[in-house]
Amino acid sequence: MLSIVTAEQVSKTFQVKVRDPGLRGALRALFRPRYRDVHAVRDVTF
């Protein structure tokens, strides 16, 4: 059977804010946020 649609090496990454605990962490997140990458899908081919 012939494929009509193909996808190769599909990836999706989300950025999630990292917060430190307490008031200091809340202020830091407000003015200078830090992020970490979360990979939902990595190099999927179908």
Q: What pLDDT, on the 0 to 100 scale, is given for residue 21?
A: 92
CA distance 45 to 21: 40
The domain total for the chain is: 1
The pLDDT tens digits for 1-46 are 788 899 999 999 999 999 889 999 888 888 999 999 999 999 999 8
Residue 4 lies in a domain: no
Residue 36 lies in a domain: yes
Residue 30 lies in a domain: yes
CA distance 24 to 30: 10
The angle formed by the CA atoms of residues 18, 38 and 32, to the nearest 5 degrees, is: 25
Residue 3 lies in a domain: no
Residue 1 lies in a domain: no
Residue 18 lies in a domain: yes
Which range of residues forms the domain containing residue 27? Answer: 10-44
Residue 38 lies in a domain: yes
Residue 25 lies in a domain: yes
